[in-house]
Amino acid sequence: MFLIIFWIEYLKYCNNEEFLEVVCQLLNVILESGLFPEVWSKGIILPIYKNKGDVKDLDNYRGITILSCLGKLFTSVINKRLHLYLESNNILCEEQAGFRKGYSTIDHKFSLKLIVDFYLNKKKKIVLCLYRL
């Protein structure tokens, strides 16, 4: 476990230009080839006790997934690039509030609750369809 933490911290705070250049070249090769290393997608799920309730009750645990730090770095870079592209080209509509700086989904949640309550009070059916881009 110490080795994993060391590696993550090294990637975060490394100022070795040669090492960073090699990592950058590796990520660019993956991006250009479209071949994402399968091992970077695999994770180890560890149950962590929530420090409340019976230790023997599985509901008192939450799972955390240990993933490849290079895989996480790569997906983080891709996410930042996509986000920057979408924001700078004004592609996202105003209604897209999730996972955006300066936006909140609170209004969406409130509107959804009002609609659901309205139809439930009228004893009418309501169908909700959600999708992710």
> Which stretches in the chain have pLDDT values below 70?
1-6, 132-133
Q: Please identify which residue in the block is written with the tokens 């609750």.
A: 113
What pLDDT is recorded for position 106? 87
pLDDT at 48: 92
Q: Please check whether residue 14 is in contact with residue 20, taking contact to mean a CB–CB distance below 8 angstroms.
A: yes
In single-letter form, the type of residue at position 114 comes to: L
What pLDDT, on the 0 to 100 scale, is given for residue 70? 87
Q: 77 and 124: one domain?
A: no
Its domain, for residue 53, covers 2-91
Q: To 10 degrees, the CA torsion angle through 104, 110, 116, 119? A: -140
Question: Do 16 and 53 sit in the same domain of this protein?
Answer: yes
Count: domains in the chain = 2
d(CA 31, CA 35): 7
Overall pTM > 0.85: no
Specify whether 65 is located in the same domain as 123: no
Please tell me whether residues 109 and 73 are part of one structural domain.
Answer: no
Residues 86, 30, single domain; the answer is yes
